[in-house]
Every structure is written in structure tokens, then in C-alpha cells.
A = this chain, B = another copy of it.
Amino acid sequence: MNAPVRKPRSATGTRSDSVYAGLRRAIIEQALMPGDKLTEDLIGDRFGVSRTIVRTALARLHAEGLVDMQPNKGATIAQPSLSEAQDVFEARMCLERQVLVRLAKKVTDQDIERLQQHVALEAKANAHDGPASIRLAGEFHILLASLSGNGVLARYVDEVVSRCSLILALYGRPHSSDCSISEHQQIIDALRARDGQAAIDAMDHHLEAVTDRALLSSHSDRTRDIRSILDRYAS
């Protein structure tokens, strides 16, 4: 089975792209958790490609901060420290503000329609499909960034939002989305009114709330989890 029908060579990196996309989605939906080992052979088997391809995908994920790599020891899902997490949130705030500065000037009715549709999707997935809910919440921000029309901003927002999923997995409540739908709605409403400042304020408020939910919720720094867990058993 798994007939090895050689596809006629499509676009460069299409294979590694699909491995990349698959792993990325698994990370963002928190199917793969921080610290999980990513063995090249194993991934290659699952995706039906050689280690060469897997390696390319892993290198890319590493560059984006989603996986850690140690020399001769391979790749694991990244475990951002609390300090790195704060850095990510700070950069995210800075970038998303700029996105809204742009959008306030150039957003079209069609753009707003797309955003509104996306929030509808979020509402539908909410509470009944945890993983999809997490992913969609992030994708709202990615959609905003791509509508901004600045590809560089869009790429960076994409990256920091993805890393936020990881941070949430580490420090937040399990399987909770980091975004409330009503907060997304407020941003859309402000954009619809072409009130740039209100949109930025709404985003500020939203991201502060996200940061709080992610970093100040139930758990302390998970890098010490093992130690503190053992403490409980060592007495």
C-alpha cells in the first residue's frame, strides 16, 4: 500500500511545504506540545517523504521559533521561556498596531466582510472544537495583517501569532483560545466606522487581555514544572 507513485515534480519545496504546514498546524492546534521530540525518521514515515524533506521543514520551523534544535540531538517543539514570551508579546503589540494604522486608512467594505465572516467561523467552532478554535483565533490576526497589504508586516505577525499559540500551550489554560470573539468584533466595528484610533485602542485592550490570559493564568513558569512537581513528591 501507499503506492509510491512519483508525482511529476511540481513546485519546489511543495513536499517540504506540506510537511511544514502539517507540523505547523499540529503545533498551533496544540496536538504537538512544547517539548515533544520530532524524530526525523518518524515524521518522514508519516508524511511519506525522506529525511531530507523533513529536515528542510524542521529548519524552517526552527527559524520561526516554533521548534528548538540542539546539535546532534534533533528537534523538539519549542518551549519559550517566560522572558521570550514577553518579547514575543511586545513585538506582536508593536506590529499589530502598525497593521491597524494601515488598515484604518485603506480598509474596504469587502475586507470588513471577510473579517466578519471569519469571526462567524470562530463563533461556530467555539466551545465545540477546541483545536480549531485556537487556530481560528490566531488566523483572525493573520487575516488582519494580510489585509494590511504589507507583506513584511504580514509575515512577522504570522510568526508572532503562531508563537503565541505555543506560549499559550505552555503557560495558559489547556485548550483555551487566547482570544475572545467579542474583542475581535470590537476591532471590526471600529474599522467599519473607520475610526483608526478606536481600532488601535481595541487591539491594545485585546492584546493586553491576551497577554494576561496567557502569562498570568493558572500556571507559573513551566520550565520549573518538573522541579516543582518533584517537590510535591519528595517530601
Contact = CB atoms under 8 A, between A and B. Distances in A.
A208 interface: no
A235 interface: no
A65 B156 CA distance: 12
A77 to B, nearest CB: 17
A156 B94 CA distance: 12
B90 A153 contact: yes
Interface stretch (A67-75, A117-125, A218-226): A67-75
A12 B69 contact: yes
- Copy number in this complex? 2
A156 B72 contact: no
A91 B156 CA distance: 9
A11 interface: yes
A107 to B, nearest CB: 16
Nearest to A52: B52
Given A59-B56, A60-B63, A63-B63, A87 B12 contact: no
A151 interface: yes
Nearest to A88: B152
A46 interface: no
Interface of A: 9-14, 52, 55-56, 59-60, 63, 65, 69-72, 84, 87-88, 90-91, 94-95, 97-98, 102, 150-153, 156, 160
Q: Which 7 A-B pairs have the closest CB atoms?
A: A12-B71, A91-B152, A11-B71, A94-B98, A87-B152, A87-B150, A91-B153
27 contacts: A9-B72, A10-B71, A12-B70, A12-B71, A12-B72, A13-B59, A13-B69, A13-B71, A56-B59, A59-B60, A60-B63, A63-B63, A84-B151, A84-B152, A87-B151, A87-B153, A88-B152, A90-B98, A90-B150, A90-B152, A90-B153, A91-B95, A91-B98, A91-B150, A94-B95, A94-B98, A156-B156
